[in-house]
Amino acid sequence: MTKAEYAAYVERVETYLKGLEAVSTGATRGCEECCSDFGVRFGEHDPEECGCDYLGNGSWDCGHVDGEDEEPLNDEGGFSWSPCEVCDSSLGGNRYTWHAIIPKDGDVKGGTMVHGTCCEDCVYFINYGKLDDSTMWDIEHDQPKDE
């Protein structure tokens, strides 16, 4: 990737993410779509609402286990030919979950959660504000990688 290509990439990503807050990568139990994808309950377990009885040792007769909701959802990504939603790259590759909030009246509380997928480069860029060190070294030294 050349310096010009990198500048164009940064422009695409920043334009796409403009106006979004709390941008992060990975699956989360706070997202209904992620919970559906991973087959886990969305939201807190409420025994009164559920109508279940406590069995002991953190287990409930509905199948819920206390503490289970705290385990992270393991988003290993998956191959797709679909373009990256963030940088619009049409290259096939692994796609990973990302989230952001569209603020309501300038505040993230009460805002709308956005759920999407992005390429590996965008995961790195969202988390570190740049591409991986090897790619950045090549760009800084005008040594684009062989395609």
Token pair, residue 96, equals 């990973």
* Dihedral of alpha carbons 80, 15, 131, 97, sign: negative
Q: Among residues 90, 105, 86, 111, which one has the least CA distance to residue 22?
A: 111
pLDDT in tens, 87-138: 999 999 999 999 999 999 888 888 899 999 999 999 999 999 999 999 999 9
Tell me the β-bridge partners of 145: none
Residue 78 to residue 97: CA distance in whole angstroms: 10
pLDDT range class, residue 14, cuts 50, 70, 90:
very high
Model's pTM, two decimal places? Answer: 0.76
pLDDT in tens, 51-81: 788 777 777 777 766 666 566 777 888 999 9
* Whether the Cβ atoms of residue 41 and residue 32 lie closer than 8 Å to each other: no
